[in-house]
């Protein structure tokens, strides 16, 4: 079924997969009429990580004011709204349920169709917003606090899993090393700022799995441990007492960041070699990292690969990337009110066979 839409038609998109509560009103032509993101960083800071139960409760408090703000800002008449879209997977179960319940209630109350979307696919879709032409087929590369995965994206929603982290996600490793350096949560952006004053060649940290050209996987857990042992000395348990100079901290940050970037760039280029695709689309929170953007761009330029990276404000979680729902709406692919949250990761089960 093909649905005829006008460029003025709007959808309301809702995002609550992790610790950002977000809503946006987006036209079919990609114009963002209203947007609101409520972060929860201060709530999770003392735990140096996202606490699922706290996240779910905070979503519950924020979801209606956030949606209200986006709609009021958009100034649309309700008859322009053609659907309510919501990210239903992957994510934290309690967090997903808050967004999904709100979306279902509004869809029912307003008699609008409901559309469930995949959060990881939305991160890649964000790379094409404002691009003008389709970004598919491409290598979709999502690097965030919860994901570090490569996909063969045949279209916006037809994906095959190529490889990903076998332990920590890259953003998670950034956040954990940031804690070792005494930086506040989420430490990725602060660690990256500290790294800009350090020497990326001062310490030789490992590049896990980088030399294994048979697989498109990542492993950041051992790298994190290597940083910890560098700080404390091998085998030491109580590293909290170690005093680091500012220069030490800057060098550790720069060298850790460089190891992560080398792995990310190396495997992205290997994915191109293995699939024959000539376009990489990079999204997710860590894609906001300036050095990663520059170094992946340089690698792609030298190999004739087209690179599209989500705009920095669309890298971390937001609802604007929920414009992905238009792809399903155009095909008349709506969901019923039976739609459920699927917390698990986007692993091979969702796409075709792993290559």
Kindly give, in sequence order, each residue whose CB lies less than 8 Å from that of residue 299, ignoring residues fewer than 6 positions away: 265, 268, 269, 305
Query: CB 173 → ligand KG4: shortest distance, Å?
Result: 8
**186 touches ligand KG4 by CB under 6 A:** yes
What DSSP designation does 8 have? Answer: T
What DSSP designation does 165 have? Answer: B
Q: Which does 289 bind (CB under 5 to 8 A by kind): ligand KG4, Zn ion, none?
A: ligand KG4
- For Zn ion, the closer of residues 74 and 144 by Cβ is 144
First vs last C-alpha separation in the chain: 32
Write the interaction track for ligand KG4 spanning residues 270-299; mark x where CB under 6 A is met and - where it is not.
--------------xxx-xx----------
**Site size for ligand KG4 (CB under 6 A):** 19
Cβ atoms of 28 and 6 within 8 Å: the answer is yes
Q: Which of the residues 125 through 154 are near ligand KG4 (CB under 6 A)?
A: 144-146
Residue 27: strand pairing partners: 10
**200 touches ligand KG4 by CB under 6 A:** no
Instruction: State how beta strands 138-143 and 148-153 pair.
Output: antiparallel
> Distances from the Cα of 348 to the Cαs of 145, 150, 280, 355, in angstroms?
20, 11, 20, 10
Cβ atoms of 34 and 22 within 8 Å: the answer is no
Query: CB 291 → Zn ion: shortest distance, Å?
Result: 20
Query: CB 353 → ligand KG4: shortest distance, Å?
Result: 25
Rounded-to-integer distance, Cα 63 and Cα 38, Å: 9
- Of 136, 117, 160, 130, the closest CA to residue 279 belongs to 136
Choice from 144, 149, 259, 318 touching Zn ion (CB under 5 A): 144
Q: Which does 186 bind (CB under 5 to 8 A by kind): Zn ion, ligand KG4, none?
A: ligand KG4
Choice from 15, 175, 217, 335 touching ligand KG4 (CB under 6 A): 175
Query: CB 78 → ligand KG4: shortest distance, Å?
Result: 30
Cβ atoms of 157 and 328 within 8 Å: the answer is yes
**316 touches ligand KG4 by CB under 6 A:** yes
Write the interaction track for Zn ion spanning residues 284-323; mark x where CB under 5 A is met and - where it is not.
---------------------------------x------
Rounded-to-integer distance, Cα 31 and Cα 323, Å: 10
**168 touches ligand KG4 by CB under 6 A:** no
Token pair for residue 142? 């999502």
CB atoms under 10 Å from CB of 231, counted, come to: 18
**258 touches Zn ion by CB under 5 A:** no
**256 touches ligand KG4 by CB under 6 A:** no
**175 touches Zn ion by CB under 5 A:** no
Query: Is the Cα torsion angle 264, 266, 269, 270 positive or negative in sign?
Result: negative
- For Zn ion, the closer of residues 16 and 192 by Cβ is 16
Contacts to Zn ion by CB under 5 A: 144, 317
Contacts to ligand KG4 by CB under 6 A: 18, 144-146, 171, 174-175, 186-189, 192, 284-286, 288-289, 316-317
């Amino acid at each position: 079924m093909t649905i005829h839409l006008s460029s003025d038609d709007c959808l309301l998109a809702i995002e609550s997969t992790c610790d950002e509560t977000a809503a946006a009103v987006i036209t079919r032509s990609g114009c963002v009429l209203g947007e609101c993101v409520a972060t929860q960083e201060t709530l999770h800071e003392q735990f140096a990580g996202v606490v699922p139960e706290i996240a779910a409760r905070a979503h519950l408090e924020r979801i209606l004011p956030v949606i209200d703000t986006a709609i009021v800002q958009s100034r649309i008449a309700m008859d322009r709204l053609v659907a309510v879209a919501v990210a239903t997977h992957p994510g934290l179960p309690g967090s997903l349920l808050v967004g999904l319940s709100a979306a279902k209630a509004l869809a029912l109350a307003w008699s609008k169709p409901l559309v469930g979307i995949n959060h990881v696919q939305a991160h890649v879709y964000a790379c094409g917003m404002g691009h003008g032409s389709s970004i598919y087929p491409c290598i979709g590369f999502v690097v965030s606090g919860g994901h570090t995965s490569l996909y063969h994206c045949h279209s916006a929603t037809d994906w095959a899993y190529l490889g990903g982290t076998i332990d920590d996600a890259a953003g998670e490793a950034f956040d954990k090393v940031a804690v070792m350096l005494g930086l506040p949560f989420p430490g990725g952006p602060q660690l990256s700022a500290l790294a800009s004053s350090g020497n990326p060649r001062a310490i030789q940290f490992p590049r896990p799995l980088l030399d294994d050209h048979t697989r498109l996987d990542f492993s950041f857990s051992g790298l994190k441990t290597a940083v910890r042992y560098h700080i404390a000395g091998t085998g030491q348990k109580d590293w909290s007492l170690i005093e680091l100079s500012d220069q030490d901290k800057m060098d550790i940050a720069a060298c850790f960041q460089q190891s992560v970037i080398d792995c990310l760039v190396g495997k992205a280029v290997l994915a191109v070699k293995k699939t024959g695709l000539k376009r990489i689309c990079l999204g997710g929170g860590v894609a906001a990292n300036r050095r990663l953007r520059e170094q992946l761009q340089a690698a792609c330029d030298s190999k004739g690969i087209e690179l599209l990276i989500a705009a920095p404000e669309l890298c971390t979680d937001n609802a604007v990337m929920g414009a992905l729902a238009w792809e399903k709406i155009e095909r008349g692919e709506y969901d019923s009110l039976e739609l459920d949250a699927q917390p698990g990761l986007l692993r091979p089960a969702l796409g075709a066979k792993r290559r």
